[in-house]
Structure 1
Amino acid sequence: MYQTLAARRLVTSSGIVEYPLITLDNEGFIASIEPGAAPHTEEATLTSTFFDIHTHGGANHDVMEGTPEALDIVSRFHAGNGVGHYLPTTVTAPIDKTLSSLDGIANAIDAPHDPRTARPIGIHLEGPFISHAKRGVHPPADILPPDIALFDRFQQAARGHIRLITIAPEVPGAIDLIRHCIARGVHVSIGHSNALSEEARTAIDAGAKSATHTYNAMRALDHREPGILGVVLDSEKLFAELICDGVHVAPELVRLWFKAKGPERAILVTDSMAAAGMPEGDYMLGTFAVKVANGRAFAADDLTHGKETLAGSVLTLNRAVANLQHFTGAPLEVAARLASSNPAAMLGVEDVASAIAPGKPANFNLFNSAGKLEKTLLHGVPVA
């Protein structure tokens, strides 16, 4: 027997369907979507599930563990917070560790997928080709100059699954690596960078398409030398991530980012690490220790020297969507797209990660009339 879903409205990448009646087949795929002939009693809003393109883990596991068990737990954790697809994101580490992690993540991507969990559909390589000046918590000993041959080793270990890479464009060799990645279908995000504005524009001209966690680990804005941040906010070509937790970026600058990028080029990410969804305490991010206190994750080694350096976040994407609405006044349908169709459009995977149409998996987030996420459906089945 076919299942039907009804709601007050359905938000898609192209618009809103009022009073939709959605029929699902027995395999959890959308059979049809019809606008209601008469209003239903339901007040719910249905959207696509979220797509997190920048996450290091959650539920006490880091994706760089690379084990089936760790990736399965991370996938279940993200599904429980409205995510249908994600990019496991690496962090700068010794080369052998990175190669091993990429192989393990690739195994998870290639393995048969449990339709009740979020699906990893590629890898985001964050580091090692970043700036020492804006490394954040990335271990300085493992940061390396851009190297095409080394990137190819990483991609071989990942069996072609690296979809996105963060590169600091000002580092010698970066532009050549950007062009190399673009030619091989890998999207480039500029970040962890102290680049001047001209260096950032050169990266965009070479094919860079996005910016990694806007404001964070970026050269500060100056009114005479706007630097990478000024270019990121100004460029009409560039998508831009943001960690909308109220910790990494002040609400005033969230609003500035949203005004600059608009609803088409702004992307919400979590940059979550293993502590997401866990009590405060001691955790790992890649190969280094992190201490979580008062909702913030700090590099433990820096804390011992009196320095507070943020080390990822404990944010979930459903909270990022709620925060964006609170900070900017954006309606739910816009905020949800920033966490679903926008990242999918940046990577060119709308058909996989955010499409709502007959023949596609019935992956939906259901929000109540107050805008709170109440239920996530993956292949038509509620996530436990």
Structure 2
Amino acid sequence: MSITLADARIVTPDGVHEGWITIEDGRFTHIGQGQAPRDGHGLAGRYVVPGFVDIHTHGGAGGSFPSGDQDQARRAAAFHAAHGTTTIMASLVTASLPDLARATASLADLCDDGLLAGIHFEGPYIARSRCGAHDPAKLRDPSPGELSGLLKAGRGHVRMVTVASELPGGLDTVRAAAAEGVIAALGHSDATYEQAIEAIEAGCTVATHLYNALPPLHHREPGPMAALLEDERVTVELINDGVHVHPAMVRLATAVAGPARTALITDAMGAAGMGDGTYRLGSMEVTVTGGTARLTEGGAIAGSTLTMDVAFRRAVLDAGLPVAVAAEMASLTPARVLGVDDRVGSITVGKTADLLVLNDDLTLQGVMRHGSWLTSP
């Protein structure tokens, strides 16, 4: 199958170009500027950006990844794909070890099938003082031995684990994860600046949803965020829904870390796309009001109802970032985190043809995954 998309504003790693793209057998084969050399599907000057890569998502459309239910996982992945996320990692939440192992083994089947790009453990190795919407009764001190068992359940598909490195066993667990090729992320943590530096030296390379569930920046006690932002080895996640993070703080993180180290995420839960009401995030009850998800008891923010097309659009329209910068943060940077940037994350000859067509106002008009339209523009 061959298709040429013409008369488009194509967002590549080099910037925005007016031109055309040819896709053959599910891959980008030609990218040119100006008029296409062959008849193609004219896009009337619309933007074409790479498919989004979401490395932190708990569900959507009523489907929950933490449930481990494969039908729910398929529903959630399809929902986010319709909103532009062509590569998605399933994030679990704090649960008992048997429940985590069961959900991990089930979701690993969907990783085998190529539906999911991996599995992320957000808990149980997090700080009680910063647990947010995680069940405090199920929190545990980090343990390399326990983690090893969970990794075996995932059959090589566990790609990330969030750890509060200051907890007993935290640094050893970070080292153990890194030794197994699993991304160690610092998050839901009360680490000091110095402890965060220790975690980075031990192998932490991601900041789980920067600003949220971490001590705030302070000029005398910089805390972990300063260490995470300033270290070139660390990529920081941002939940850009206007609830978790103010646009000024999106600009600040991007200015300090640069788009190559700043990844947009959704942190979406099953309520995404479902409207207001009562839902569950793991074992916790969540109430969604006006699109904001909070624990029914206590009111802590409990994930989001965000989709990546909205996160991308907000980065441009609310935070004021250039379209090419926002595309890097939503696609190429998270693809680098996962180690799949040789295949996805940018419109580059030879890569898988995952792309999105956007109107001038950056609303989503078309989604292509692996060279086939999920939604035709």
Residue 210 of structure 1 and its aligned partner are, at CA, apart by: 1.1
More strand by share: 2
Question: Is 1:127–1:166's contact at 8 Å kept on the other side of the alignment?
Answer: yes
Q: Structure 1 residue aligned with 2:221, among 222, 225, 231?
A: 225
Question: Is 2:344–2:351's contact at 8 Å kept on the other side of the alignment?
Answer: no
Residue 256 of structure 1 and its aligned partner are, at CA, apart by: 1.9
Q: State the alpha-carbon separation in 2 of the partners of residues 356 and 188 from structure 1.
A: 28
Say if 2:204 is the partner of 1:208.
yes
Deviates more, 1:58-67 or 1:27-36: 27-36
Aligned pairs for 1:132-151 (under 5 A) are 132-151=128-147
Deviates more, 1:28-37 or 1:333-342: 28-37
SS of the residue 1:249 aligns to: coil
Residue 359 of structure 1 and its aligned partner are, at CA, apart by: 4.1
Amino acid at match of 2:70: P
Query: Structure 1, residues 74-100: CA drift from partner, whole Å, max 9, x if none?
Result: 111011100110110000011111111
SS of the residue 1:65 aligns to: coil
What is aligned with 2:164?
A: 168
Query: Structure 1, residues 286-325: CA drift from partner, whole Å, max 9, x if none?
Result: 12211101221111122xxxxx200000011110111111
Q: State the alpha-carbon separation in 2 of the partners of residues 317 and 339 from structure 1.
A: 7
Structure 2: give runs of 5+ residues left out of the alignment: none
Query: Structure 1, residues 198-252: CA drift from partner, whole Å, max 9, x if none?
Result: 0000111112111011111001222111111222233333210011111111223
Question: Is 2:6–2:35's contact at 8 Å kept on the other side of the alignment?
Answer: no
Q: Structure 2 residue aligned with 1:60, among 57, 62, 70?
A: 62
Q: State the alpha-carbon separation in 1 of the partners of residues 98 and 304 from structure 2.
A: 26
Q: State the alpha-carbon separation in 2 of the partners of residues 41 and 208 from structure 1.
A: 42
Q: State the alpha-carbon separation in 2 of the partners of residues 344 and 368 from structure 1.
A: 24
Question: Is 1:56–1:63's contact at 8 Å kept on the other side of the alignment?
Answer: yes
What is aligned with 2:322?
A: 331
Question: Is 1:6–1:21's contact at 8 Å kept on the other side of the alignment?
Answer: yes
What is aligned with 2:154?
A: 158
Aligned pairs for 1:172-187 (under 5 A) are 172-187=168-183
SS of the residue 1:209 aligns to: strand
Say if 2:12 is the partner of 1:9.
no
The 3 A distance-change label for structure 1 pair 201 and 128 is same
Amino acid at match of 1:133: S
Q: Structure 1 residue aligned with 2:367, among 348, 358, 376?
A: 376
Question: Is 2:20–2:32's contact at 8 Å kept on the other side of the alignment?
Answer: yes
User: Structure 1 length normalisation: TM-score?
Assistant: 0.92
Residue 41 of structure 1 and its aligned partner are, at CA, apart by: 7.6
Large movers: runs of 4+ above 4 Å: 37-41
Structure 1: give runs of 5+ residues left out of the alignment: 114-118, 303-307
The 3 A distance-change label for structure 1 pair 24 and 8 is closer
Q: Give the superposed CA RMSD.
A: 1.8
User: Structure 2 length normalisation: TM-score?
Assistant: 0.93
What is aligned with 1:305?
A: none
Say if 2:293 is the partner of 1:294.
no
Q: State the alpha-carbon separation in 2 of the partners of residues 139 and 153 from structure 1.
A: 21
What is aligned with 1:36?
A: 34
Query: Structure 1, residues 43-100: CA drift from partner, whole Å, max 9, x if none?
Result: 1121110000000000001112222211111111011100110110000011111111
Matched residues, percent identical? 39
Q: State the alpha-carbon separation in 1 of the partners of residues 355 and 43 from structure 2.
A: 19
Query: Structure 1, residues 226-282: CA drift from partner, whole Å, max 9, x if none?
Result: 111222233333210011111111223222222222221111000000000001001
Query: Structure 1, residues 331-350: CA drift from partner, whole Å, max 9, x if none?
Result: 11111110110011123220
Amino acid at match of 2:197: R
Amino acid at match of 2:363: K
Amino acid at match of 2:281: L
Say if 2:319 is the partner of 1:321.
no
What is aligned with 2:71?
A: 69
